[in-house]
């Protein structure tokens, strides 16, 4: 009888292609033996445990003790299998810095992490070195706090300005987003830790985010949403990618084989590991088949799903082995595998200095009437808005938040820079619970005693909900508008000025009020050192060089996706059918952001790529060279103004008329100068893949590069082109692809 049981057990293990757990001294060890040997020695249970996240050791194929790493308070872990020398690995959020618990049970120390500027600000710098520096900052803290992967960058495209997580993301344009993300990945991974580029893909809204089907044309997918990730992968080669919560044209992305296997691994050649976002149980077998290697946060039932499916012949052991191999290839790169001894003491002071410097690189000057800024020292500032004080936002909320040691608000920053901020006002706002509606008489009083007014408008958003097309969010609230008007009237009556600072995580309506203040500064949510960075731009210590990574439309309704972006669970054209799956049709196709406004000559409040400086620049000698693989452009940028500064050269390409309707122009490359002294020049070189100019023809499932004369344009925004050069392509190219997603 006993024999029969043993035989059955043996047979079922053989059928599953598995070995029994062996506890001999010569059992293969990861690192000492090849991955193939380790894989061969793994039991089915151990393989299944590895494909499902968790914070414990696997001992004798069972749940062992919880690992000490669990106390860090990171987002997730992979399990350890000590028998085979497989360590645990630790996955931590997120895009603005390491998100771990500041306190640990039984430990009196605190574990703060640097609050870096948000992704949108990094993108606004248009400076790949800035993205790398912020990445290096964060990556070092991942390493020194004993983690292995930063769940970043957040890099969904800004399809709609009201997506609640846009602050974590970079841009409406795939070239800017993909390039900056790719460079941030390089910076993070230069520390010998990994990244998880997220959320792959078309997770462009928070409303109903775990059950929403994004219905997207093959063309828009290929030219925008996938292109964004493809570029980041090409540049940064992230160790891991996080599939998104949503469904895409039917299946959940985490169970989408054409997406994760055919496109990502097949077409792009991605060799890393794919993990889910932090979901409940979904179809486990479909996910394993799709080559979604790791399920987070990880449930015991998923382990059982895998084991049962293999035993029942519903899941091939070869597929399981493929995914386990992806996991093992990832694990051998990690600090935990290298037995890196984390110090728990990264140099937060040095990192704060980097965060401050980089934040200033992405601050955008939207308006500067009669040289209002920079502000000379010695002026007494009337500083309005709770966002200038305790309400100042370093970043948005949710997993994109960081437990920062401190936040320098605008009041503190101005003081640090040597400005005198009216102390009465500081007292007023420090005592307030909410923003204050300033009446004319109080404004007049301030204008009589102070030299200049600064008013901060703040907006917060984050994970789990989208913003609203309402006063107080997309629009100014009546109190904000009233305050702005009263301050402007009072100060203007005295020949004094008003500067507005936008401490926001995403686009707001500006057209109706932007003529009221004298200057508008857009520092987004600039991280823990934000106030100092803002003060450095206000004082002129840093010459502003940020440019918009998205369009500021005249009205929300002008945005094509506003027609099918949810405003609440049943509003708009966001439909929910009876089976709990909602959907959002990306009816605007490729007409996202400036591609729409520019092509159809729709006026905007501020165009994509826009940003002022304290100096001026000229562009000259634009030269372009066509190559079959790579095209190259050079342009000389000269500082023609009176102060030192940096400038971004944006390279757009207009394609000749072909069979497909195309945007009037599309960003293909960009570069930023170093700090140029007045009169100084720098020649910038920009390259881009020739096939990246191709359009996607859905009927033939192929990329099409039309022959003809392409106009290559260098400019300071999509509307402000400074130099144009023709580039001839004599032979067209058509390249068929396989995946239909």
278 binds ligand BGC (CB under 6 A): yes
Nearer to ligand BGC, 168 or 666 (CB): 168
* Measured CA angle at 26 (ends 25, 27), to 5 deg: 95
- For residue 297, the minimal CB distance to ligand BGC (Å) is 8
Residue 282, classed as helix, strand or coil, is coil
Burial category of 345 from C-beta neighbours within 10 Å (exposed 0-12, middle 13-18, buried 19 and up): exposed
- Are the CB atoms for 210 and 281 separated by under 8 Å? no
Please tell me the distance from the alpha carbon of residue 402 to that of residue 154, in angstroms, as a whole number. Answer: 14
- 252 interacts with ligand BGC by CB under 6 A: no
Closer to ligand BGC by CB, 94 or 611: give it: 94
75 versus 714: smaller Cβ distance to ligand BGC: 75
**Binding to ligand BGC by residue 94, rule CB under 6 A?**
yes
Residues numbered 466 to 525 that lie near ligand BGC (CB under 6 A) are none
Q: Are 609 and 546 in contact (CB under 8 A)?
A: no
Q: Which is nearer to ligand BGC, 146 or 560 (CB)?
A: 146
Cβ nearer to ligand BGC, comparing 73 with 658: 73
Q: Does 151 bind ligand BGC (CB under 6 A)?
A: yes
Strands (E), 657-718: 666-672, 681-689, 695-697, 702-705, 708-717
**Is residue 198 a contact point for ligand BGC (CB under 6 A)?**
yes
Read off the tokens for 667: 């960003």
Size of the site for ligand BGC (CB under 6 A): 8
Contacts of residue 14, Cβ cutoff 8 Å, sequence gap at least 6 = none
Closest CB to ligand BGC among residues 582, 609: 582
CA separation for the pair 378, 497 (Å, rounded): 15
Q: Which residue has the tokens 């077409």?
A: 267
Q: Which run of H or E residues covers position 606? A: strand 604-606
Choice between 243 and 469, CB closer to ligand BGC = 243
Q: What is the dihedral of CA 270, 275, 279, 282, to 10 degrees?
A: 70
Binding pattern to ligand BGC, positions 416-455, x when CB under 6 A? ----------------------------------------
Q: What is the DSSP letter of 83?
A: G
Single residue of 93, 127, 173, 473 touching ligand BGC by CB under 6 A: 93
Q: Which of 640, 614, 636 is nearest to 623 (CA)?
A: 636
Considering only 277, 435, 509, 692, the residue that binds ligand BGC (CB under 6 A) is 277
Alpha-carbon Rg of the chain, whole angstroms?
Answer: 27
To the nearest whole angstrom, how small is the minimum distance from the Cβ of residue 88 to ligand BGC?
17
Q: Is residue 399 part of the contact set for ligand BGC (CB under 6 A)?
A: yes
Instruction: Tell the smallest beta-carbon distance from residue 78 to ligand BGC (Å).
Output: 14
- Say if CB 241 and CB 198 are below 8 A apart: yes
Q: Smallest distance from the beta carbon of 568 to ligand BGC, in angstroms?
A: 20
Nearer to ligand BGC, 203 or 695 (CB): 203
Give yes or no for residue 292 binding ligand BGC (CB under 6 A).
Answer: no
Of 198 and 446, CB closest to ligand BGC: 198
DSSP letter at 67? P
Binding mask 50-89 for ligand BGC (x = CB under 6 A): -------------------------x--------------
Q: ∠ CA 69-74-76 to the nearest 5 degrees?
A: 85
Q: Which residues bind ligand BGC (CB under 6 A)?
A: 75, 93-94, 151, 198, 277-278, 399
């Amino acid at each position: 009888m006993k024999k029969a049981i043993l035989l059955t057990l043996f047979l079922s293990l053989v059928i599953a292609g598995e070995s029994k757990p062996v506890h001999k001294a010569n059992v293969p060890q990861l690192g000492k033996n090849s991955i193939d040997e380790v894989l061969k020695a793994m039991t089915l249970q151990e393989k299944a445990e590895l494909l499902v996240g968790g914070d414990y050791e696997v001992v004798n194929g069972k749940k062992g003790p919880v690992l000490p790493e669990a106390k860090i308070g990171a987002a997730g872990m992979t399990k350890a299998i000590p028998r085979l020398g497989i360590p645990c690995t630790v996955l931590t959020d997120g895009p603005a810095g390491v998100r771990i618990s500041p306190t640990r049970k039984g430990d009196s120390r605190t574990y703060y992490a640097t609050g870096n500027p948000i992704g949108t600000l990094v993108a606004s710098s248009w400076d790949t070195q800035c993205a790398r520096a912020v990445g290096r900052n964060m990556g070092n803290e991942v390493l020194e706090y004993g983690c292995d992967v930063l769940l970043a960058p957040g890099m969904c495209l800004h399809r709609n300005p009201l997506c609640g997580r846009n602050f974590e993301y970079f841009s409406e344009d795939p070239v800017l987003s993909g390039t900056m993300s790719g460079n941030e990945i390089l910076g993070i991974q230069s520390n010998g830790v990994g990244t998880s580029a997220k959320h792959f893909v078309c997770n462009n809204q928070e409303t109903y985010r775990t059950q929403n089907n994004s219905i997207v044309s093959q063309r828009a997918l290929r030219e925008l949403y996938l292109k964004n990730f493809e570029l980041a992968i090409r540049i940064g080669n992230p160790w891991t990618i996080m599939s998104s919560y949503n469904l895409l044209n039917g299946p959940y992305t985490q169970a989408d084989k054409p997406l994760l296997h055919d496109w990502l691994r097949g077409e792009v050649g991605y060799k890393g590991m794919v993990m889910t976002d932090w979901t409940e149980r979904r179809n486990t077998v479909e996910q394993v088949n799709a080559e979604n290697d790791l399920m987070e946060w990880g449930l015991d039932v998923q382990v059982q799903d895998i084991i049962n499916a293999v035993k029942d012949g519903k899941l091939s052991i070869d597929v399981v082995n493929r995914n386990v191999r992806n996991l093992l290839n990832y694990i051998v790169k990690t600090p935990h595998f290298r037995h890196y001894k984390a110090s728990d003491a990264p140099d937060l002071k040095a990192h704060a200095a980097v965060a401050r410097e980089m934040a200033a690189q992405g601050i955008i000057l939207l308006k500067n009437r009669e040289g209002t800024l920079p502000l000379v020292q010695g002026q007494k500032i009337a500083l309005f808005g709770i966002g200038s004080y305790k309400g100042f936002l370093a970043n948005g909320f949710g997993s994109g938040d960081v437990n920062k040691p401190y936040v320098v608000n605008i009041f503190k920053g101005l003081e640090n820079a040597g400005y005198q901020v009216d102390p009465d006002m500081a007292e007023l706002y420090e005592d307030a619970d909410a923003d204050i509606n300033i009446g004319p008489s109080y404004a007049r009083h301030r204008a009589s005693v102070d030299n200049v007014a600064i008013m901060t408008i703040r907006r917060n958003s984050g994970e789990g909900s989208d913003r609203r097309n309402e006063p107080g969010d997309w629009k100014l609230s009546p109190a904000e508008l009233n305050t702005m008007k009263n301050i402007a009237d009072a100060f203007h009556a005295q020949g004094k000025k008003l500067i507005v600072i936008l401490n926001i995580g995403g686009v707001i309506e500006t057209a109706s009020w932007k003529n009221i203040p004298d200057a508008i500064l857009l520092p987004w949510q600039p991280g823990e050192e934000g106030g100092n960075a803002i003060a450095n731009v206000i004082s002129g210590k840093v010459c502003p060089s940020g440019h918009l990574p998205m369009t500021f439309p005249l009205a929300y309704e002008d945005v094509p996706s506003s027609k099918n972006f949810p405003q609440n669970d049943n509003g708009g054209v966001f439909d929910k059918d009876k089976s709990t799956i909602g959907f959002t049709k990306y009816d605007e196709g490729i007409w996202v952001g400036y591609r729409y406004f520019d092509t159809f000559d729709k006026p905007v409040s501020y165009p994509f790529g826009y940003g002022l400086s304290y100096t001026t620049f000229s562009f000259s000698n634009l030269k372009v060279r066509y190559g079959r693989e790579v095209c190259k452009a050079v342009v000389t940028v000269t500082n023609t103004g009176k102060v030192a500064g940096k400038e971004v050269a944006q390279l757009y390409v207009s394609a000749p008329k072909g069979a497909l309707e195309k945007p009037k122009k599309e960003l293909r490359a960009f570069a930023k100068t170093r700090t140029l002294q007045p009169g100084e020049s720098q020649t910038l070189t920009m390259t881009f893949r020739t096939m990246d100019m191709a359009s996607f023809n859905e009927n033939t499932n192929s990329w099409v590069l039309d022959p003809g004369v392409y106009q290559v344009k260098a400019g300071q925004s999509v509307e402000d082109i400074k130099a144009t050069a023709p580039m001839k392509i004599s032979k067209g190219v058509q390249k068929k692809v396989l995946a239909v997603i």
